[in-house]
Amino acid sequence: MSGWTWGQATLRLLILAGPLVALFSTALVGSRPAPWLVALTAALSVAFAAMPESPFGSAAMLLVLAWWGISLDDGLHPEAVLAAGGLLISHVAALVASYGPGDLPVDAGVVRTWLGRALLVFVTAPAAWILAAAVRDQPEPPGIWLAGLVASIAAALVASAAFAVRGQD
């Protein structure tokens, strides 16, 4: 920790805080996490902050997602957008932190690039929440989940092709 640059220390703090913000956002709708769950999420987040390329981040985020699914009967709360933001910030901070060792200064251009990408991804969270709230009481059309899966896969393929990095010949 003492070898971290100021930028790396900031990234590690964001990595640590993201899952905890997402976990505690359920308290805003009346579902406080148990102390053991807070301690486990905090421990996983500390390990994730120390080792951003490790699976501890996935474990912390999956734990938070499981808590959201289990603790709330109706998961359609605007606080879910806050939780999505916390998890996204943690993920992107870990990605940038993993670009080099802790004593390597964080490149401002890399931060700007990933901040722009994160903002584009984050826009989908409130949009998805608004859409879900709008169709909340509507009957579910047959095949809607299959159509959503096909659309998601198609979007991922198009994005992969659009942003493919080509090596020099």
pLDDT recorded at residue 163: 77
Per-residue pLDDT tens listing for the chain (169 residues): 558 899 999 999 999 999 999 999 999 988 999 999 999 999 999 999 999 999 999 999 999 999 998 988 776 889 999 999 999 999 999 999 999 888 889 999 999 999 999 999 999 999 988 988 888 888 888 888 788 889 999 988 988 888 776 544 4
CA pair distance 131, 168, nearest whole angstrom? 42
CA pair distance 104, 107, nearest whole angstrom? 9
pTM for this predicted structure = 0.81
Assess contact for 14 and 90: CB atoms under 8 A: yes
Assess contact for 23 and 64: CB atoms under 8 A: yes
CB-neighbour burial class of residue 16 (10 A; exposed 0-12, middle 13-18, buried 19+)? buried
Residue entry with tokens 């200064």: 105
pLDDT recorded at residue 145: 79
